Amino acid sequence: MNGSVSVRDRLWQHIAAIRMIDTHEHIPSESSACQSHTSLFSFFEHYVSSDLVSAGMPRESLEAMRKPDSGLSLEERWAILEPYWPFARTTGYGRAMLEYIADLYGVVDINRDTYLDLCQRIKAAHKPGWYRHVLKEKAGIDLSLVITWPRQSVVVDQEFFRAVPILDHYAIVSTRAELEALEKESGYAIQTLPQLMEAQEAALDRFAGQGIAGVKIFLAYRRTLLFERAPQSAAARVFDRVWLSQTQDLAFEDLKPLQDFMTRRLIGLAAERGLPIQIHTGLQEGNGNYIENSRPTLLSNLFMEFSDARFDVFHAGYPYSGEVAVLSKMFPNVYADLCWIHAVSPLAATRILGEWLEVIPSNKIFAAGGDSNYVEGAYEHCKIARRVAHEVLSQKVEGGYLSEEEARWLADRILRENAASLFRLG
C-alpha cells in the first residue's frame, strides 16, 4: 500500500469525526425555515443568486423567481432560471448547491427533469427535526454562531446556536426618523449624543445578559473600514445635525465622525465585557459594491489602539487574504477566519489555509465557518471546510512540513478548539 494514501486515509478518519464549531451563519429558527423554504427556488438567496445576476439575469426576474408570494408557478420559476443556471452551476456557489441538494435531498442534478421532484422533497423535509438531522447528524457541527439583525431577538435555540448581534445601526443613524426608530427599539430617549451612547451600551448589556458570543460589525457593506479617532465634541455636532435632519441630506463625509466615534465606542464596550468582535472584510455578498472599502489593513489603527479587544476578521478578507495573514501574525488580538470562502472557491480556501498555517500562530486560525441563510448551506460550507483542511494538512504531511500527529492536532484547533476558546463555548 502506498504510504501517502494511508496518511490521507488516517487524517480523513480523524477530520471526519471532529465536531465542528462554525464561526458564522445567518440561520433563522427552524420554525421560520419550515415556513420559508418550501421549494428549490427559496434557496436562490445567499449566493447562487448573485452569480445568476452577474451572469445577466435581471434583478426583477430573480425576485419574481424566488419570492414565494410572487404568484408564479414552479414551471414559470424554472423558465426564469433555466437560461442562466448553466453559467452559475460551475462556480463555487453552484457546485456547493448541487452538492447539498444531492447529499440532503437525494437528487443528483438540478435540471428541467428534476426540479419538480426536488421541490416536493424540499417541502416534505422541512418539518421539526430537520435542523438536528442536518446540523448535528449530517454536518457534524456542534454549534454555529449566528448573526442577529437589529430588532431581532438574540435568544436563539441553544442546542444549535449562539447569537452575535449587529449593533451598527447605533453608529449609522442619518435622520431624525432613524433616531426615533432607535428610541422605540431601545426604550431610551435619544435626543443627544450621550443618550445615544447610553442606549447602545444598554442594548449591549441586555444582549450580554442573554448569552451572546460576540458582536458583529457589518459596515464594510456601506462604508470604508477606516474608523478614525473622532472627539466626542465632533461626534456631538454631527448628532445634532442628524437630529435636525428630516431627509437623508447628510453625506458620508458629514456623518463619518459620528460613525467612527460610535463604532470605536462599541469596540471598547465589547472589549470591556470580554466579547470578541467579528468584522466583515473582503468580498461583499450581492452585486455591486466597493471592494476597496473592505480591505483588512484599513483596520490597523483599531488593532493597535484597542489592544484589549479581540478581532475575528471574516472571510479571509478575500481577495486580500495576505493582509489578514500579516495582520494576524503581527497583532496578538487579531484572528483569521476563512468563513464563507469555502463556497466562494474551494481552491482559494485551500491556497489560503496552506499559507496561513505557515504565517499565523495556529491558535488564531478559524477554518470551519460558513455564512448561510439556511442549514443546507451551513452543512455544505462545513463539508468543504473538512475537505480543505484535509487536503492542506495531507499536503503538509506528505511534503514533510508537519508530522502526522501535528496535522491531527492542527485539525482539532482550526475546526473546533480555537473557536471554542475565543468564544468561550466550553
> Interface residues with Zn ion (CB under 5 A)?
371
Burial (0-12, 13-18, 19+ Cβ within 10 Å), 406: middle
DSSP state at residue 416: I
CA end-to-end span of the chain = 40
- Shortest Cβ distance from residue 169 to Zn ion (Å)? 16
Q: Which is nearer to Zn ion, 145 or 393 (CB)?
A: 145
Beta carbon of residue 218, minimum distance to Zn ion (angstroms, whole number): 8
* Cβ 425 vs Cβ 162: under 8 Å: yes
Q: Which CB sits closer to Zn ion, 341 or 411?
A: 341
SS3 (DSSP) at 399 = coil
DSSP structure string for 242-301? HHT-SSS---HHHHHHHHHHHHHHHHHHHHHTT--EEE--S--SSS---GGGG-GGGGHH
Question: At its nearest, how many Å lie between Zn ion and the CB of residue 379?
Answer: 16
Provide the minimum distance between the beta carbon of 340 and Zn ion in the complex, in angstroms, as a whole number: 7
Residue number, 149 or 252, with CB nearest to Zn ion: 149
d(CA 105, CA 338): 27
Q: Please state the closest distance from residue 115 (CB atom) to Zn ion, in A.
A: 27
Is the Cβ of residue 36 or residue 114 nearer to Zn ion in the bound state? Answer: 36
> Closest CB to Zn ion among 245 and 284?
284
Q: Rounded to an integer, what distance in angstroms lies between the CA atom of residue 112 and that of residue 118?
A: 11
DSSP per residue, 98-110: HHHHHHHH-----
Reported in sequence order, the residue ranges of 122-238 that DSSP labels E, i.e. its strands, are 141-148, 161-165, 215-217
CB of 375 to Zn ion, least distance (A): 15
Which residue's CB is nearer to Zn ion, number 371 or number 380?
Answer: 371
Q: Least Å distance between CB 371 and Zn ion? A: 4
The residue number whose beta carbon is nearest to Zn ion equals 371
* Half-sphere exposure for 178 (CA within 13 Å, toward CB): 18
Q: Which is nearer to Zn ion, 92 or 257 (CB)?
A: 92
Query: According to DSSP H, which parts of 37-73 are helical?
Result: 48-54, 59-66
HSE-CB for 424 with a 13 A CA cutoff: 10
Of 281, 151, 161, 260, the residue nearest 214 (C-alpha): 161
Smallest distance from Zn ion to CB 24, Å? 6
By beta-carbon proximity to Zn ion, the closer residue of 116 and 172 is 172
- Minimum Å gap between C-beta 309 and Zn ion is 20
Residue 68, preceding peptide bond in cis (omega within 30° of 0): no
Tell me whether residue 149 or residue 290 sits nearer to Zn ion (CB atom): 149
C-alpha to C-alpha distance for 2 and 10, rounded to whole angstroms: 13
Element (H, E) at 366: strand 365-366
